[in-house]
Every structure is written in structure tokens, then in C-alpha cells.
């Protein structure tokens, strides 16, 4: 893997300075028990959450933030925490740093394992379905009609459109419009671990599909922290051998994004290597 990949999320000065200022602000407010939102790169992680959910059981506020009535209409929920604002990193593919895949025909799709357009290469890896439920953090109501752009690295820790060897690929990137329950689902593969970062998945939330496909204004940008027990199972399989070493060299406590708390960003993960995994999280916006 090229050296640029090893410096992911640390090579851009604005990302680092934003994260440092955010964590300094959170430390100052921790004694008051408040979560602070500081600017566009700030975090609203709740200091009252003591631990990170495992893949078999996540925080009830994250996995069950909303409910539906028997008729299927969204029901009100309480204590829906706003998803922490995180950096999109240097490989967003949303036009903010080079390539813009959001305006391309074919980006709106549920299965993001293959490239579209001039390539049909399929990303290899253990199957992973990512299910997000977008919720209004104030009222608990589902954000029907919102849109989610989701992307992550491949089995080797490389990002399509950017990394050496996959600049002509656009796999593992896609947009979905939330249904009446605020839910989106992506069929993908479990991302590898690369040097310097905890295994994660990026996503942006837009107010509408039209806004997403014109690379417009986001209402949230964040990341999913994948649980260690799931990572251990996946990385023991063929193709992920380098991820074992990279995972061992970092932790949630030292990761530059998740070290101030990852409970609100850790999905519930179920399944197995044989049948594939499913990661689910309620996203308050």
C-alpha cells in the first residue's frame, strides 16, 4: 500500500486542527456533563456514555432510537442523540477534494460492491450490509426522504478514485434515499484496516436525494466505528491478513477520530463470516 494510504485522515492540516480544537473543547465541558458542538468539524459525542457497544449488543439509544406503529408510520422517540460530526477525510469523492462521484449516473444504488460506468470491477471481501435509520434528534421522527452517501476502503485499505491501483474504480460508494421509516440499506463488503486508523465507514446525510446527487449541502458528516470482535472474525479470513497487524497497532482510545468516545457511532453488528454481517445504527441529525 502506498504511503499516502497510511497517512489517511492525518495528512490534511485542516482535519487535524479541527479535531484537536474539538477535543480541547470537549475536555473543558466534560465536568459539566454537556456535549458541545463546535463548528462544522466538531463533535457532539455524549460524555455520559461509558462504554462502546460490542457487535452483539449496542446501545439501545443507537440501535432502537425510533419505533413504528402497527401501521408502519414513524412513532416519536425520546433521547435521540445527534450523531457526532466527523471529518470526511481526504478521500470523500463528493467534489470537496478532487473527484465528484455524486453527480455521476449510477451513484444511486443499494449494492455498492461493484464499480459503475467505465468499469464493472467487484470489490472482494466478507459480505456486509449497512443499515442506517435517519432520525430527527429533536423530535425522534424518522427523516423520510433524506439521503445518505456512504463510502469506505476496500479489503486492502485502499479508496476507489484516489488510491494507487484503484483510481479508475468507483466501487464501495453509493447513495440511497431514506424510505418512510428513515431507513437506508447498503450491500457492501467488510472494509480492511489500514495503518493509523480504527476500521471505519464514512457517510454523509443530505436533506434530500436531489441535494445529494448535486453534491449540495450536508446536514451531517460522520463515521461508523466497527466493533473489534467483528473485525477479529473477519480479519482471520483470507485476504485480510494485513488488517490483523494494522488493527493491533491502534485502538478506539487512540484513534484520532474515535478517541473522545465512539458509543454513538458504533453500530450493532450481527451475523457470521459464512453468512455475512449486518451493521445497524440509528443516526440522529
pLDDT at site 148: 99
Cα–Cα distance measured from residue 86 to residue 254, given in angstroms and rounded to the nearest whole number: 16
Which one-letter DSSP state was computed for residue 192?
P
Cα–Cα distance measured from residue 253 to residue 174, given in angstroms and rounded to the nearest whole number: 30
Q: Output the CA torsion sign for 141, 144, 149, 153.
A: positive
pLDDT at site 69: 27
Cell 446527487: give the residue.
Answer: 213
Closest CA to 123 of 101, 162, 159, 154: 154
H or E, element range at 22: helix 13-29
For residues 174 and 68, which has the higher predicted lDDT (pLDDT)? Answer: 174
Based on the number of CB atoms within 10 Å of its own CB, is 14 exposed (0-12), middle (13-18) or buried (19 or more)?
A: exposed
- At what angle are helices 228-235 and 241-248 packed, to 10 degrees? 150
Q: What is the mean pLDDT of residues 225-233?
A: 98
Cα–Cα distance measured from residue 209 to residue 33, given in angstroms and rounded to the nearest whole number: 36
Q: Is 90 helix (H, G, I), strand (E, B) or coil?
A: coil
pLDDT at 239 over 60: yes
Q: With bands split at pLDDT 50, 70 and 90, how would you rate the model's confidence at 80?
A: confident
Residues 104, 105, 106, 109, Cα dihedral to 10°: 90
Based on the number of CB atoms within 10 Å of its own CB, is 163 exposed (0-12), middle (13-18) or buried (19 or more)?
A: buried
Which one-letter DSSP state was computed for residue 100?
B
Q: Which of 59-63, 68-72, 120-124, 214-218 has the lowest mean pLDDT?
A: 68-72
pLDDT at 58 over 70: no
pLDDT tens digits, one per residue of 101-158: 999 999 999 999 999 999 999 999 999 999 999 999 999 999 999 999 999 999 999 9
Number of helices and strands (H, E) in the chain?
6, 10
Cα–Cα distance measured from residue 234 to residue 228, given in angstroms and rounded to the nearest whole number: 10
Q: With bands split at pLDDT 50, 70 and 90, how would you rate the model's confidence at 83?
A: very high
pLDDT at 236 over 80: yes
On the CB side of 71, how many CA atoms lie within 13 Å of its CA?
Answer: 3
State residue 174 phi and psi, 5-degree precision.
Answer: -170, 165
H or E, element range at 243: helix 241-248
Amino acid at each position: 500500500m502506498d504511503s499516502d494510504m497510511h497517512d489517511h485522515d492525518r495528512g490534511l492540516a485542516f482535519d487535524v486542527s479541527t479535531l484537536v480544537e474539538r477535543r480541547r473543547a470537549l475536555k473543558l465541558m466534560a465536568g459539566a456533563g454537556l456535549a458541545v458542538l463546535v463548528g462544522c468539524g466538531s463533535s457532539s459525542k455524549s460524555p455520559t456514555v461509558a462504554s462502546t457497544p460490542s457487535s452483539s449488543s449496542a446501545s439501545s439509544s443507537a440501535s432502537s432510537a425510533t419505533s413504528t406503529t402497527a401501521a408502519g408510520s414513524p412513532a416519536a422517540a425520546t433521547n435521540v442523540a445527534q450523531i457526532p460530526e466527523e471529518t470526511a477525510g481526504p478521500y470523500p469523492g463528493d467534489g470537496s477534494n478532487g473527484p465528484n462521484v455524486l453527480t455521476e449516473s449510477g451513484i444511486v444504488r443499494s449494492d455498492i460492491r461493484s464499480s459503475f460506468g467505465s468499469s464493472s470491477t467487484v470489490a472482494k471481501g466478507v459480505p456486509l450490509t449497512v443499515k442506517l435509520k435517519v432520525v430527527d434528534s429533536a423530535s425522534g421522527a424518522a427523516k423520510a426522504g433524506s439521503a445518505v452517501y456512504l463510502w469506505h476502503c476496500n479489503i486492502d485499505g485502499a479508496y476507489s478514485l484516489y488510491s494507487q491501483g484503484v483510481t479508475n474504480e468507483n466501487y464501495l460508494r453509493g447513495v440511497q434515499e431514506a424510505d418512510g421509516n428513515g431507513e437506508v440499506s447498503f450491500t457492501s463488503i467488510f472494509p480492511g484496516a489500514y495503518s493509523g486508523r480504527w476500521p471505519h465507514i464514512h457517510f454523509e446525510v443530505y436533506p434530500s436525494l436531489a441535494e445529494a446527487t448535486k453534491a449540495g449541502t450536508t446536514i451531517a458528516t460522520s463515521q461508523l466505528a466497527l466493533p473489534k470482535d467483528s473485525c477479529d472474525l473477519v480479519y482471520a479470513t483470507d485476504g485480510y491478513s494485513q488488517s490483523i497487524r494494522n488493527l493491533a497497532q491502534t485502538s478506539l482510545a487512540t484513534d484520532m477520530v474515535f478517541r473522545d468516545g465512539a458509543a454513538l457511532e458504533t453500530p450493532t453488528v450481527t451475523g457470521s463470516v459464512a453468512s455475512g454481517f449486518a451493521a445497524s445504527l440509528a443516526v440522529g441529525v
